[in-house]
Chain A
Amino acid sequence: MKLDSKIPAGPIAEKWTRHKFNLKLVNPANKRKYDVIVVGTGLAGSSAAASLAELGYNVKAFTYHDSPRRAHSIAAQGGINAAKNYQNDGDSVYRLFYDTVKGGDYRAREANVYRLAEVSVSIIDQCVAQGVPFAREYGGLLANRSFGGAQVSRTFYARGQTGQQLLLGAYSAMNRQIANGKVKLYTRTEMLDVVVIDGKARGIITRDLITGKIEAHSAHAVLLCTGGYSNVFYLSTSAKNCNATAAWRAHKKGALFGNPCFTQIHPTCIPVSGDHQSKLTLMSESLRNDGRVWVPKKGIKGLKAKDAVNIPESERDYFLERRYPSFGNLVPRDVASRNAKYVCDEGRGVGSSGLAVFLDFSDAIKRDGRNTIEAKYGNLFDMYKQITGDNPYEVPMMIFPAVHYTMGGLWVDYNLMTTVPGLYALGEANFSDHGANRLGASALMQGLADGYFVIPYTIGDYLATIGWNDKVGTDHPAFKESMEQVQLGIKRLLDINGNKTVDEFHRQLGHIMWEYCGMSRNEEGLKKAKKMIQDLRAEFWSNVKVLGTSTELNAELEKANRVADFLELGELMVDDALHRSESCGGHFREESATEDGEAKRKDDEFAFVSAWEYKGSNQAEELHKEELVFENVKLTQRSYK
């Protein structure tokens, strides 16, 4: 297989414009003859479904939620980037492009990132026109804030609920098309397979989560907008139901998986409080602007936040300020996370588990007064208190890193098409634009760019090429076969009737991934993890306990399906991490470090996208490489000293 990224020729600033001109168009009167399936109704899915329906295509949209408004995009807090340069502080499309490529540690495609920066400005216009209530200044114009990895203020926000407001905007645009009859919405319906016939994606197989009914749906093209796979780690900042099933099953049907080992770990999350922990809560990164991160110089077992005040200054190690004098507490996410891990590994972590560091606001409160701090972070402090029972105005917060985002995903070309013709991936589900590390406030931007401004153009080229009568109905035997496969898989799970719950397996997998394929990775650990995952998978298929039937609402069955896929994806992540023996972005290989322990990229060997091809059950996957060419950005090693 040869990977063709379809990057258009020409200077970077003209590529997208030229490409749009060269793409084939579907005649407006013919658009209604085409059916498009959109799986997932988060930012990427809702925006795509609405925009395609507005153009005249017939859209069927699917979500396992009861409403599109529940998609995990709703939880994004901080904001969305756009190169509007409203602040007159030197921002531009080129600067946003440059920051994103650099922030991604030079493992993203230049052309995609440039396009993302280019359309970012239209996203804000679109959202405002839909009634998204962004934060404003007293003069009535839009407000901005700055975010990690940028020296300009280009982040638009709606208090701490930006994702919610953007999603409600996209959801309302889709609602209008539902009312208009152009989008048919299927809620509490989970996609369990992609149907590929003669090498093209022709439809999907779904399960109605309330009745258990398995159904086939056919279309001219299928869009997967199904989010990321952070939950392979069990504990992450993702919603409980986020999963990789759609992407993984597409992978098994021929779509290559790009950079699976690139995951982002966020440094400021609330630490685990016990074995019952079900998910992790993110505390906004902005806290590091005023909070100082420290641990005691000598480890103290079980140190509580209320006893931290008794530790004299001379006994404290402000380790980020010490190691990175110029960036201090504001080093990028991966650096902050890794250093927190190191001090905990040294036995200097705090809290009952020893897996936490302090984030202390006492100096900021002394300096600026409690009111100022309250105005900036009041809601976050309240949330922290609610969850932990500690009051951060009086005692330091305790934080620990947690998995937050997956840069990897289905490999797509410049048109967002996977290696299966007619099958597209949008939003966090694709490997796309963030390279080895995503900058804050760039995921919302990418999801909406894909849905509002990229796919409406690029899908037309494919549809016009195949023509509207090139559609296969659900009476084709391939649909029936796929439905039977899905049913068989479900039956297999229900028949095992073993002794361990799905959650127990999921938690165990999460431990393995976190321990060996988390913040810091090495060959020995990864090899061990591979074996452990294989064993766990074998045990799962002989010892999982799933009660109930397949013809009713059955949450355990839903989870079992998803965990079965995580158990396969986890191994691929480990394979990818093993193969990439360099450190870049969120992927830190201990073997590839500078003398003082910082990440070292190996551009000569690894300036490529890893794209893995499925070869059959329990077979090793085949690696394909898409070489990355940098014509505009100069590759440098990051330094925050």
Chain B
Amino acid sequence: MKVTLKIWRQKGPNEKGGFKTYQHDHVSPDMSFLEMLDVLNTNLIKKGEEPVHFDHDCREGICGMCSLYINGHPHGPLQTTTCQLHMRSFKDGETITIEPWRARAFPIIKDLVVDRTAFDRIQQAGGYISVNTGGVPDANEIPIPKKVADEAFDAATCIGCGACVAACKNASAMLFVSAKVSQFALLPQGKPERKERVQKMVAQMDAEGFGACTNTKACEAECPKGISVTNIARLNREYYSASISSYEWQVGGGGE
């Protein structure tokens, strides 16, 4: 099949970017979307033109590295990661527009590559349970109802790709943050620090310049891992109850 590609090209963080159009005539429907770009890049290099930079690694839908905004959707038309998208999802002769994630908190590094370290800083602010290596109880000491464990797991499957931010007109990171907060809030091990955690993570999220959540649910619709907006409701509850009784947080309980 043949496709026309309109790709965002930008030399560096502070340079002006713009779309460039490429004709790609050797596409097989069995190729993954990224393999289609690999072939494009090989052709560009052969012609002496700089290849298109894009982030990717596992190509299995789990590392969260791939991040293309395709035809107006993060990760393209299916609810999956870009690396799991195949060319058979596109029509012969179609024009495909490829952009980077766009959000103030995700500055562009080059072409389609953006900086998502804001997510890491949110996690560093409190996305952990304060235990040192060793000296912990036996793993079966605290039984956890299967339903609770499963729910925590569902939240924990977030791959940190940032599609939720890219999908949101406010560039809000609430779905991502709520997934992490929920995982720990649900588990008994996470309870001692839950108030402090939610406050610190939300504060960092705001400091990074992510927008507010206005409940459009665009994030849930585009999340490749099906993270549910019920997590956002849980985050809001956690945050609310933490702010009316922030006893542990004020006395510094559970921190370093």
A interface vs B, CB < 8 Å? 47, 50-51, 54, 65-70, 72, 74-75, 84, 86, 122, 124-131, 133-142, 158-159, 161, 164-165, 168, 171-173, 175-176, 178-180, 185, 187, 210, 239-241, 273-274, 276-279, 281, 383, 386-389, 452-453, 456, 499, 501, 503-504, 545, 547-548, 552-553, 555-556
Contacts A/B (CB < 8 Å), 28 sampled = A47-B133, A84-B140, A125-B137, A125-B138, A129-B136, A130-B129, A133-B149, A134-B139, A134-B149, A138-B146, A140-B145, A164-B62, A164-B159, A165-B153, A175-B123, A179-B126, A240-B58, A278-B38, A383-B61, A387-B32, A453-B134, A501-B46, A547-B49, A552-B11, A553-B12, A553-B53, A553-B109, A556-B51
Q: Are B189 and A129 in contact (CB under 8 A)?
A: yes
**Interface residue from B11, B39, B116 paired with A276 (Cβ < 8 Å):** B39
Is B38 touching A386 in the complex (CB atoms < 8 A)?
Answer: no
CB atoms of B139 and A142 under 8 A apart: yes
Assess the A187–B117 pair: CB atoms within 8 A. yes
What's the least CB distance linking B207 to chain A, in Å?
14
Question: Which residues from A are CB-within-8-Å of B159?
Answer: 164
Q: Which 6 A-B pairs have the closest CB atoms?
A: A140-B143, A172-B128, A129-B136, A133-B153, A128-B139, A51-B133
For B25, the chain A residues whose CB sits under 8 A away are none
Residues of A with C-beta under 8 A to B170: none
Tell me the bound Cα distance from A134 to B146 in angstroms: 10
Q: Are A126 and B133 in contact (CB under 8 A)?
A: yes
Residues of chain A contacted by B36 (CB below 8 angstroms): 276
Q: How far is the CA of A129 from the CA of B125 in the complex (A)?
A: 19
* Chain A CB within 8 A of B206 CB: no
The stretch of B80-88, B212-220, B243-251 that contacts the partner chain = B80-88
Does B157 count as interface, using CB distance less than 8 angstroms?
Answer: yes
A547 and B51 contacting across the interface, CB-CB below 8 Å: yes
Docked CA distance A137–B58 (Å): 31
**Given contacts A69-B64, A179-B124, A553-B110, is CB(A131)–CB(B129) below 8 Å?**
yes
| Contacts between the two chains (Cβ within 8 Å), count | 214
Residues of chain A within 8 A of B39, CB atoms compared: 276
Query: For residue A501, which residues in chain B have a CB less than 8 angstroms away from its CB?
Result: 42, 45-46
B residues with CB within 8 A of A: 11-12, 28-32, 34-36, 38-39, 42, 45-46, 48-51, 53, 55-65, 80, 84, 86, 88, 109-110, 113, 115-117, 119-120, 123-134, 136-140, 143-146, 149-150, 152-153, 156-157, 159-160, 183-184, 187, 189-190, 256
- Per a CB cutoff under 8 Å, which of A67, A180, A452 touches B160? A67
Q: Given A239-B57, A501-B46, are A130 and B113 also a contact pair (CB < 8 Å)? A: no
Compute how far the CA of A66 lies from the CA of B38 in the bound complex, rounded to whole angstroms.
21
**Neighbour of A75 across the interface among B63, B115, B130, B138, CB < 8 A:** B63
Instruction: Tell me whether A70 and B146 are in contact (CB under 8 A).
Output: no
Nearest B residue to A130 via CB reads B129
B30 neighbours in A (Cβ, 8 Å):
273-274, 388-389
For A128, what are the chain B residues with a Cβ–Cβ distance below 8 Å? 136, 139, 189
Asked if A75 and B51 make an inter-chain contact with CB atoms under 8 angstroms apart, the answer reads: no
Instruction: Determine how close the nearest CB of chain B comes to the CB of A120; give it in whole angstroms.
Output: 11
Contact of A279 among B59, B113, B125, B140 (CB under 8 A): B59
Q: Give A102 to B109 CA distance when docked, in angstroms.
A: 49
Across the interface, which residues of B come within 8 angstroms of A125, CB to CB?
A: 136-139
User: What is the distance, in angstroms, from A552's C-beta to the closest C-beta of chain B?
Assistant: 7
* Alpha-carbon separation in the docked complex, A75 to B126 (Å): 25
Contacting A124 at CB < 8 Å: which of B32, B60, B139? Answer: B139
Whether A67 lies near B116 (C-beta < 8 A) is: yes
Closest chain B residue to A82, Cβ basis: B139
Q: Which residue of A lies closest to B116 (CB)?
A: A66
B residues less than 8 Å from A51 (CB atoms) = 132-133
In the assembly, what is the distance between CA of A556 and CA of B48, in Å?
13
The closest CB in chain B to the CB of A555 belongs to B53
Residues of B within 8 A of A281 (CB): 59-60
For the complex, give the distance between the alpha carbons of A314 and B78 in Å.
Answer: 42
Per the bound structure, the CA–CA distance linking A25 and B23 in Å amounts to 64
The CA of A388 and the CA of B50, in the complex, are separated in Å by 31
Q: Do B187 and A133 have beta carbons less than 8 Å apart?
A: yes
Q: Is A66 within 8 A of B115, CB to CB? A: yes
Evaluate whether A552 and B12 lie within 8 angstroms (CB atoms) in the complex, with A74-B58, A164-B62, A386-B86 already known. Answer: yes
* Complex partner residue of A70 from B63, B109, B183, CB under 8 angstroms: B63
Q: Is A84 touching B139 in the complex (CB atoms < 8 A)?
A: yes
Q: B80 — nearest CB in chain A belongs to which residue? A: A386
A129-B129, A136-B146, A168-B156 known, 10 other contacts, Cβ within 8 Å: A72-B57, A74-B63, A133-B149, A136-B144, A136-B150, A158-B153, A187-B117, A273-B30, A387-B84, A452-B133
Q: Most chain-B Cβ atoms within 10 A of its Cβ — which of A164, A185, A388, A548?
A: A164
Which residues of B lie under 8 Å from residue A129 when comparing CB positions?
129, 131, 136-137, 189
Cα distance, A235 to B59, chains bound together (Å): 12
CB distance from A298 to the nearest CB of B (A): 27
- Contact call B117/A130, Cβ cutoff below 8 A: no
Interchain CB contact under 8 A, B136 and A67: no
Given A133-B149, A503-B42, the answer on whether A72 and B58 have CB atoms closer than 8 Å is yes
> Given contacts A159-B153, A276-B31, is CB(A241)–CB(B57) below 8 Å?
yes
Q: Are B59 and A386 in contact (CB under 8 A)?
A: no
